Structure formats: structure tokens, C-alpha cells
Amino acid sequence: MAYVAHDASVFAPPAEVGEMELYHPKTWLGKYVWSQDAKVIGIQYAITAIGIGLVALVMSWLIRLQLGFPDSFSFIDPSNYLQFVTLHGMIMVVYLLTALFLGGFGNYLIPLMVGSRDMVFPYVNMVSYWVYLFAVLLLVASFFVPGGPTGAGWTLYPPQAILQGTPGATWGIILMLVSLVFFIIGFTMGGLNYVVTVLQARTRGMTLMRMPLTIWGIFMATVLALLAFPALLVSAIMMLFDLLLGTSFFMPALVSMGQQSEHAGGSPLLFQHLFWFFGHPEVYIVALPAFGIVSDLLSVHARKNIFGYRMMVWAIVAIGGLSFVVWAHHMYVSGMNPYFGFFFATTTLIIAVPTALKVYNWVLTLWHGNIQLTVPMLFAIGFIFAFIHGGLTGLFLGNVTVSVPLSDTMFVVAHFHLVMAVAPIMVVFGAIYHWYPKITGRMLNEGMGKFHFWATFLGTYAIYLPMHYLGFLGVPRRYYAVGGTDFIPASAQSLNAGITIASLLVGAVQLVFLYNLVWSYFKGKPSGGNPWNATTLEWQTADTPPKHGNFGATLPVVYRWAYDYSVPGADQDFIPQNVPAREVART
């Protein structure tokens, strides 16, 4: 870290990135398609991720139609159903949320919020997006190959993932695994950029502890992803070897469909360990950016500094570290050594401490705040609700003795959807309503936004609260049809039908959001440079939307942390990060 003599800094010239050579394209294609501007790349990531996410949304409808009204739809057979479940999970977790938070928000916000002209390696950044797009296209291609996409479940557990009889056991699973390999390669290129930009390209005065929590969340999530994705890469390659070359990393000797397989001696449990060594940090790869962003939304829209900034940073770091030692709580019923269960239950419950700390701090930030119930704020508060509920059921599932009877029931589905689907997506929406004015120069329509929030918030609760009860009844997950089962009362089916109707409605409401995105782009109210009166650097740019290079002729100099809201004695209720003490108007 470079420091200058103290007396020099008072009148120091603004930081200028002499060595960062920006590529200035001359053609439309170079500017908007083969762009090396992190902002454009961020938008490309976001549009692609949301596009493929809509496909996964339609799949969730099809899953719910089958569960709510079994035997009513001839186009959903058991194979299709498993394929929908698999692709819905995989797309939502990896191709939508990971790509949107890190590739989308990361690219757009990191250079702007740390005061940099761009990512440090713009060309690699561009390639990262195109590799991601290629991975998405491979995934889409699996819909059109013989046998269709894989139906192995998003966890892709062997041996069934590559055994005949599982949908998409040849082409589908190959394309899935190859697509993941490319996704990881693309992500690693982007991830190196995010980490190095945060550590190495911050502007004058922007120390680590002056960074907004959004950047802390995205930064730590990127570190997790860089260290966790290799496990998925290794397991994908090993499974491809098993499938294509006849090795036996994961495949034990077994009889499948009356035939003795040619495999022998592989360990399916090894795959599970590798997969969840990636899979659990993946939960926090999605959650940490959401934690960071929601902290900033709450602070800006409650006009109050974030409560316990240092603790918030420490909690992000601690959660990141702990997330690597809890993976086997996904494997309590896998037949592993029971002592492992004890260890992993303990670490899992320890992770509740920094997480709870964050929740308290969010609530305490709202306490006595000047709360503005704007659309981003509504979504931020919605996040707190969903996250607390999902977190509390996590305490149940973290304990081995409670978890075992609830394993593979709808209770698990309700838990992880609340905590890592509804909660992060609330933040995604909040963040889009919050930063859309910076990206386009126009506000999103507030009426449509409020309708979108209430319908989504209440609708998702209508889906997932009753689902816990189905889980208690013992309704299993992943089943195409339960059939006549003594322990499940007939009323469970009525509940399932109700959940389906709610999910169809929630899905349809997202069309209002999409319409709002397009409508406001042309007809929204002009926003000006800083419509929320926020302190962070992205709101202090010379142009809105910011041009290539972000900050005009000189980079901003940072004089304060990101949370100077309602400072006693100051005229305005916010002091931007680039305003020195002598320029703050006081009465």
C-alpha cells in the first residue's frame, strides 16, 4: 500500500491513473458488443443472466404445474420433470445469481465505487463475458440434443447422473459438464479482475475500510468463488473421464438395467465431498454480495450510517472463511462417518453468529433512521424478512438429529429457497431499482415498482411458508408424483395446488418489472446524477450514465468513509466521499 507524506496530501494533486491504458473503440460494435468497458460488460452479463434466468423461471412454473395438478398436463412426463428440476436449480444458482452478482453488479460497480477508470485487465474482462456467454449457449444447446438436457438433479450426483435411464445421460450431461467447465474458466478471468481491481486500483484516499460494504461483499464472494470453483471443475472433469474414457473415479461396480457396468471401484461419496466443497461456499458467493448491497441500500434510504461498519466487514470475512468448513452438512444422510456430522453441525451453527450479527446491525441501522420507503428500501426490508426466516430454518437443518428426518422433504426446498433464492433476488431487485438511474439516467416507475415489490414479497411468502408444512408432513422433494401414500393427507394436495397458483402469479408479476425496465428507459423521469443523495463515488460522476473512463479528466479523491449520512451540524443530510472537510457546509 503506498502512502505519501501527510503534509503533502492536504493539497495533493488528484490521483491519476497514468499507467492504465484504456482502449477507445471507434465503431459501434467495439463500443457495445466487443466492449472492454466494465460498465458495458456488466450490462452484458446482467442481460444474459436475466435472460437465461427467465428460462429457469418458466421451468419452475412447469415443475409447480405438475406438483399442483398432477396428471393434468400431458407434456410433462417424469423425464421432463426431472430435467426441469435440474436445469431450474443449476441455472438459478450458477448461471443467474453468480453471474449477475459478480459479473453484472461486480463489473458495473467495482471500478465506479473504488474510484478507478476501469477494471485492471479490460481485455481479459471482455473475454470473461464471451466465455460465459458460450457456457450459457452450451447449456441451451442441451435442450436440443438427443435425450434432452440432464435430469440428474442440480447436484449431478453419480452414479445416476451418467447411467442410462437418467434423462440426458449421454449428450445432456456432457454438455452440462462442459458448460460448467467453460463457466468456471470465464469466471476465473473475471474474478481475477475483480480481486486485483479492489486491491490494486483504488483511488487516492480510498483505504480498504473506506470502501462501501457492497464492494466488500462482492470482493469476498469473488475470493470464495475463485477458491471454490476449482472443486467443481475437478469433479466435472473427473465425471467426464468416467463417462467418456471409462475410468472409475466416482463409478462403483454396479448392475444397471440388468447389465453389469464396466466400472469398478469408484467412490460416489468422493464426488459429493468435492461438489459440496464448492456447493456450500456457493451459497455465500450468492449471499455475500447481497449482504453488502443491502447494507448500502438500508443506509442510503434510512439516511443513517450503517450500524457497526467494522463488525459488518469482519462478519463478511468470517462468513467467507467459515463457509469452507461446513460443506458436509449437505451430506448427513450420505453414509459418511457420523463423527463428521458432529463436526460439521458445530461449524454450521458457529456460522450463525456472524450472520446474526449482520441481521442485528441491519435492523439497528433502521432504528431511529429517517426511513424513506422507496422501492429499493422496500426490497431491502423484504430481504431482511426472507433472510431471517430462511436462516431460522437453517438452524433446524444444521443439527444432525433434526435434519435427518427432514432430509429430502419439501422443508429443505422451502428453507433454501427463502434463504438463497428469495432473499438474494430481493436484493437484486432492490439494487436494480437503486442503480438503474445511474445506468440509464432515468428513474424506474415507482408505482409499477411498488406493485412489483408487494406482489413478489407476499407471493413468495404464499409459496414458501406452506411448503415448510408440507415438509413436516413428509412430502418428499424431487418426486414427479407421490401417488397413494398413507402418511400424507389428501389436504396436502390442496396446499400444493395453492402454492402452484401463487408461483404462477409471482412469475407473471415479473413481467411488470421487465416492462418497467423497458418503459422507463424511454419514458422514465430523468434522474439527475444523484437522485438518492448518496455518498458513494458512483453517484459523483461528471456524466450520468458515466462515460468510458468513469470520472472525466481527473479521478476523485476520497476524504471520508461511505456512510456520512445525517452528520450533526452539516447542512445537507449526506456528505459525498469526495468532499473534503473544509468544503462541508455547516450552520
Tell me which residues in 494-523 interact with other proteins (CB under 8 A).
Answer: none
**How many whole angstroms separate alpha carbon 186 and alpha carbon 129?**
7
Q: Which amino acid is at 307?
A: F
> Strands 255-256, 259-260: parallel, antiparallel or unpaired by DSSP?
antiparallel
Q: Which of 31, 210, 303, 450 binds other proteins (CB under 8 A)?
A: 210
Distance (Å, whole) CA 344 – CA 317: 19
| 20 contributes a contact to other proteins by CB under 8 A | yes
Candidate list 247, 334, 399, 533; residue touching other proteins; CB under 8 A: 247
Nearer to other proteins, 223 or 375 (CB): 223
Helix ranges (DSSP H) in 142-212: 171-200
Nearer to other proteins, 210 or 450 (CB): 210
Residues 21-60 within binding reach of other proteins (CB under 8 A): 21
Query: Residue 13 contacts by C-beta under 8 Å, 6 or more apart in sequence?
Result: none
Beta-carbon contacts of residue 546 (< 8 Å; ≥ 6 apart):
39, 112, 438, 538
d(CA 112, CA 538): 5
Query: For helices 446-473 and 423-440, what crossing angle results, to 10°?
Result: 160
Cβ 253 to other proteins shortest distance, Å = 9
Q: How far is the CB of 208 from other proteins (least distance, A)?
A: 5
Interaction of residue 120 with other proteins, rule CB under 8 A = yes
Q: Are 264 and 253 in contact (CB under 8 A)?
A: yes
Least distance to other proteins from the beta carbon of 141, Å?
Answer: 24
Selected from 383, 563, 565, 574, the binder of other proteins by CB under 8 A is 563
Q: Which of residues 537-556 bind other proteins (CB under 8 A)?
A: 555
Select from 227, 336, 371, 473 the one that contacts other proteins (CB under 8 A): 227
User: What whole-number distance in Å separates Cα of residue 469 and Cα of residue 476?
Assistant: 12
Using CB under 8 A as the binding rule, whether residue 561 contacts other proteins is answered as yes
Q: Assess 4 for contact with other proteins (CB under 8 A).
A: yes
SS3 of 199-218? HHCCCCCCCHHHCCHHHHHH
The sign of the CA dihedral 91, 94, 97, 99 is negative
Site for other proteins in 121-140 (CB under 8 A): 121
Distance between CA atoms of residues 100 and 128, nearest Å = 13
Cell numbers 405438475 correspond to 66
DSSP state of 91: I
Per CB under 8 A, which of residues 406..435 are in contact with other proteins? none
Nearer to other proteins, 270 or 501 (CB): 270
Only one of the segments 224-232, 353-361, 447-455, 494-502 lies at the binding site for other proteins (rule: CB under 8 A); that segment is: 224-232
DSSP string, 542-556: SSSSPPTTSSTTS--
* C-alpha–C-alpha distance, residues 79 and 70, integer Å: 14
Could you tell me the smallest distance in angstroms from the CB atom of residue 18 to other proteins? Answer: 8
Of 209 and 353, nearer to other proteins (C-beta) is 209
Q: Determine contact, residues 413/467, Cβ cutoff 8 Å.
A: yes
Residue 65 · residue 73 · CB < 8 Å: yes
| Residue 196 interacting with other proteins (CB under 8 A) | yes
Q: Which grid coordinates belong to 343?
A: 463436526
Distance CA 365, CA 353 (A): 18
Q: Is 359 in the site for other proteins (CB under 8 A)?
A: no
Candidate ranges 6-14, 70-78, 147-155, 400-408; the one touching other proteins (CB under 8 A): 6-14
Polymer length of the chain:
587
Region binding other proteins by CB under 8 A among candidate stretches 263-271, 383-391, 401-409, 450-458: 263-271
Please tell me whether residue 226 binds other proteins under the rule CB under 8 A: yes
- For the record, the C-alpha cell of 523 comes out as 419514458
Burial class of residue 337 in the structure, from the number of CB atoms within 10 Å of its CB (0-12 exposed, 13-18 middle, 19+ buried)? exposed
Task: Report the C-alpha gap between 563 and 302 in whole angstroms.
Answer: 11
For residues 276-335, which are near other proteins according to CB under 8 A? Answer: 277, 305, 309-310, 313-314, 317
Residue type, 301: H
- Binding residue for other proteins (CB under 8 A) from 29, 47, 58, 264? 264
Does 9 participate in binding other proteins (rule CB under 8 A)?
Answer: yes
C-alpha cell of residue 120:
485492471
The stretch among 44-52, 115-123, 290-298, 441-449 that binds other proteins (CB under 8 A) is 115-123
What are 434's three cell numbers? 437503486
Compute the least distance from the CB of residue 201 to other proteins, in Å.
5
Q: Which residue's CB is nearer to other proteins, number 322 or number 443?
A: 322
Instruction: Establish if 248 lies at the interface with other proteins (CB under 8 A).
Output: yes
Binding residue (CB under 8 A) for other proteins from 24, 32, 207, 585:
207
Check binding of 205 to other proteins (CB under 8 A).
Answer: yes
Find the binder of other proteins among 44, 60, 66, 116 (CB under 8 A): 116
Give the range of 11-19, 48-56, 165-173, 404-412 binding other proteins by CB under 8 A: 11-19
The smaller minimum CB distance to other proteins, of residues 167 and 212, is found at 212
Size of the site for other proteins (CB under 8 A): 73
Q: Establish how many alpha carbons lie within 13 A of residue 339's alpha carbon, considering only the half-sphere containing its beta carbon.
A: 0
Q: Which three cell numbers stand for residue 230?
A: 476449482
Among 51, 265, 528, 552, binds other proteins (CB under 8 A): 265
Structure-block grid coordinates of residue 446: 415507482
By the rule CB under 8 A, 11 interacts with other proteins: no
Residue from 50, 215, 238, 378 binding other proteins (CB under 8 A)? 238
Touching other proteins, residues 155-194 (CB under 8 A): 188, 192
Does residue 274 touch other proteins according to CB under 8 A?
A: yes
One residue of 49, 99, 173, 201 binding other proteins per CB under 8 A: 201
